[in-house]
Amino acid sequence: MNVLIKSATIIDSKSDFHNTTQDILIENGKISKIGKTIKNPNNYNEIKLENLHVSQGWFDSSVCFGEPGYEDRETIENGMLTAAKSGFTTVALQPNTHPITDTNSAINFAKTKTEKSPTNLLTVGALTSLSKSIDLAELFDMHTAGAVAFYDYKKPIANPNLLKIALQYTSSFNGLVCSFPLETKISGSGVMNENVTSTTLGLKGNPNLAESLQVARDLFILEYTEGKLHIPTISTAESVQLIREAKQKKLDITCSVSIHNLFFTDEVLTDFDTRFKVNPPLRTQKDIDALIEGVKDGTVDFVTSDHNPITIEDKKVEFDHAEYGTIGLESAFGALNTLFTTKKTISILTKGKQRFGMENKTIKEGEQAELSLFNPDTKYTFTKNHIFSKSHNSIFLDQDLKGKVYGIISNNKKVL
C-alpha cells in the first residue's frame, strides 16, 4: 500500500514531529518520509481530510465479538472492521464465546479469522476451564498459541486459592492473570449501584463493598505470590485508592476502567433503560471523580470501551432480566475527547500495548505505519447512524460527543 497523507497534525509525544503539521509518505506499508511538503512521487493515492490529525495506533484492552457461538450479536470479521472504523489498530478479544476460548485451538481459531485484518487482534484465553472457576484452563498451551492474558470475562474468581495458584503458575512464563473485581456473596442479585437511586427505583443494589472487598483480597494474594495481575473495569473510589497503595508497594498490578463508568452516574437509570445496565454498574459522581483522577495520575492504566454487543431480544426486556453490556468502540474517541483534552485522550488510547506483549510504533521514518486518523474538534450527537456493529446496544445514543474518527492505516492496509 502506497499513500501520501497531506497536512496532518502529528500527535505523538515520542515522535520528533510531535504537534507539527506534516505530509507523511507511506510506501509498502512503511513511513518512508515525513516533511512539510512532499511531492507525490508516483501518483500515489493522497489523503486530504478536514483538520486531519494522526497518532500512534489506538489500543482497546477489552472487546467482545460473540463468534463463535453468538454470531447474531457480532462476527469477528465485522467486529474487526468496526474497530478499524473506530480508529483502533489493536484490540484484545475476550473469551466469552460458545464454546469458551479455553484451549489453544480456540486461540488459533480467532487468530486465523483475522490474519488479513488491518487491525491487530490480541486474544485473551479463559483463566479456568469453561470459565467455571473450578479448574485452571490450559494456560501454557494457550500462551504458546499466542494468548496474551487469561480472564474469565466478568466472572469473579470465587476461590482465593485458585487465584493464588494461577498467579504462581503463570509466573513461570510471565503470564498475565486478570481477576474481575466482584464478591458475589456481597453483590447478591443486585442489578445496579446500591444507592438512593436503587432504593427509589425499587431495584436490588450492588454496593461498592462488593468490588473493593474483592480488590483488597486479590491484592493481598498478589503480594504473597509476587505474580502479575490485571484488574479489569474497576468502578469505585475505594478500588482506585487500594490500587494506588498497591502500586506504591511496587506490586506488578495494572487496572482498567470502562469509558461509560467515567461518563454516567446511576441517576440515568430513572427510566429503567436497559442500555444503561452494565457490569460493573454505573456508580456515583464521587466514584467518577476518583476514577478520573486515577486516570490522570496513572493509577488507572487503561480506559476500555468494554465493547460487548448484545441482541435486542436480550436487551429489550424487564430490567432485572436484561443482559449486561454496551457496545463502545464507535463512541470511544468521542466520549474520551469530551472528558479530557485531545492530548490526554490520545495518551489514554495509545497506552497499554506493552502490558499485553506489543510495542507501540512511533511516527518516524522507517517505521511500519500504524496510524489512527481523526479530527478532534468535530462536535456531534451520537446516533444509530454512527454504529457499525451488528448489535445497537449503545449506552451513548443521543449523547453529545466531540471528535470524529476517519479510520486507520495499519498492516499495509487502510480503512477510511
Q: Which residues are catalytic?
A: 306
Give the Cα separation of 407 and 70 in Å (integer). Answer: 26
Element (H, E) at 3: strand 3-11
Reading phi first (left if > 0) and then psi (alpha if -120 to 50, else beta), residue 322 is in beta
- For residue 61, what is the enclosing H or E element? strand 58-63
**325's grid cell:** 453490556
Which of 307, 294, 289 minimizes the C-alpha distance to 389? 307
**Could you tell me if 103 and 127 are in contact, meaning their C-beta atoms sit under 8 angstroms apart?**
no
Look up residue 71 and give its amino acid: E
* SS3 state of residue 368: strand
Q: Which three cell numbers stand for residue 346?
A: 490520545
Specify whether the CB–CB gap between 200 and 220 falls below 8 A.
Answer: no
- In whole angstroms, give the CA distance from residue 18 to residue 172: 39
